[in-house]
Every structure is written in C-alpha cells, then in structure tokens.
Amino acid sequence: MIGLDRRLSDEASIHPETTDMQTKLLAAALGLALATPFIALATPFIAQAAPPPVQVIEMQVTGAGFVPDQIKVTKGQKVRLVVTRKTERTCATEIVIKDQGINQKLPLDKAVTVEFTPSKSGQLRYACGMDMISGVIVVE
C-alpha cells in the first residue's frame, strides 16, 4: 500500500494535470450518482387518460313503442342501452340498429343490454324487426 501511495505521489508530481482531470471526473461521476434519484423523482408522472364513461340509457318497449324514441349521445363514447319490453302487444320483440350491426331479441320483462360506440356524428335509427316501430339516436 505504501508503494502505491508513493507511485501516485510521484505520478502527481510528474503529471499534475492528470490528477486534476481525474479529480474532476471523479467529482462529476459522484455528483451524477447522487443526483440521479432526485432527477427520477422530479420527472412528472404521466397518467394514462381514463376511458370516457359509458352513457347508460334505459329504454322500454310499451304500447306506445320505444320510450324514449329519441336519444342524444356523444360520438366516440360507449353507449349502453338497457331495453326492457313491457308489453306483449307489440311487434317490437327485438331492437335493430342497422348502422351498428345490432339485432337483439327483447324478451318480455327482461332488461337486455345493447352496447356500441358511435364513430360519427348524425342520426342512428333503431327499430323493431319489422321496421314499423322506430326511434332515433342523435350522435353529437
């Protein structure tokens, strides 16, 4: 160990700029090592955007048809229709939304869930299987 100290001391007297550079590099490395955890903590947390909430609309099929017969929804947001047929005296034993590829049976007194996400603004028509009883979904 004494031999190493003497050799380093001799090296420092022969090449003082080398020792000075080594000291600066060591200080920089030590500073970086100490600062890294704080830099990581200071980095802002990027949260994932929460998906938009589901628009839930309850509907009934009564003697008057689909109630409500006009619905407003938001483009790009998932829509969940909960449809309950309350009468036997109707041809609306199913709901058809052609533009969404939906044709769902509506058993008597049972809530049926129909989900879709409208991708463009405008109107979507829904109807019974015979296309006699209908309503409109307005997509804004």
Question: Tokens 């994932």 map to which residue?
Answer: 48
State pLDDT tens for residues 23-75.
676 666 656 666 666 555 555 666 677 767 899 999 999 999 999 999 999 99
pLDDT of 77 > 80? The answer is yes
Q: Where are the domains of the chain?
A: 2-42, 55-139
pLDDT of residue 49: 72
Q: Tokens representing 113?
A: 């869930």
137 and 98 Cβ atoms separated by less than 8 Å: no
Cα(31)–Cα(46) distance, integer angstroms: 27
The pLDDT score that the predictor gives to residue 59 is 98
Q: Is the pLDDT of residue 78 over 90?
A: yes
DSSP character for 76? T
- At 13 the pLDDT is 55
CATH fold for the domain made of 55-139: Immunoglobulin-like (2.60.40)
Q: Percentage helix, strand, coil, to 5, in the chain?
A: 30, 35, 35
